[in-house]
Amino acid sequence: MVLTSALAAGSILYLQGRFNAGDERNALALVREYRAKSGRSLPEVLEESSGNVKPEWSTATESSCFQHERVRAEVATDAGVVTYDFLVDINGPSIHPGNENGKRALEALGP
């Protein structure tokens, strides 16, 4: 009985980890591939504002129940690292600012 419970718990944790990894991968793709009506993308906006330095991207699960992910872009500049956070609702799908820099980047996409 103990072995069965341990195997069941291990299976659940493994499956949840796979779901989270898939959501993180999809959120990253959504942020990197989204194009506004203006034709601009977030990677283009970030590279333009940093003098063509490509950002380092990472993701983290904010809420696995609601499928909310945090996508972070870090751009190394002469003044230090600038962090852009975006909150992604996989079910929407929609992208929201996660910090002030993320808000400015989304606004720079235009209409």
What residue ranges in the chain does DSSP mark as E strands? 56-63, 68-77, 80-89, 94-97
CA dist 88 and 101 (Å) reads 15
DSSP state of 54: P
Q: Which residue has the higher pLDDT, 16 or 98?
A: 98
What is the pairing mode between strands 68-77 and 56-63? Answer: antiparallel
What residues make up the domain containing 14?
2-108
Could you tell me which of 101, 80, 98 has the C-alpha nearest to residue 89? 98
Q: Where does the pLDDT of residue 67 fall: very low under 50, low under 70, confident under 90, or very high at 90 and above?
A: confident
CA dist 79 and 75 (Å) reads 10
Q: Which residue has the higher pLDDT, 91 or 78?
A: 91
- Count of domains forming the chain: 1
Q: If you compute the radius of gyration of the chain from its CA atoms, what whole number of angstroms results?
A: 17
User: How many CB atoms are located within 10 Å of the residue 84 CB?
Assistant: 27
pTM of the model: 0.84
Mutual orientation of helices 2-33 and 42-49 as an angle, nearest 10°?
70
Q: Which residue has the higher pLDDT, 88 or 20?
A: 88
In order of 52, 60, 69, 88, the CA distances from 91 in angstroms are 32, 16, 11, 9
What mean pLDDT do residues 63-71 have?
88
**How confident is the model at residue 62, as a pLDDT?**
87
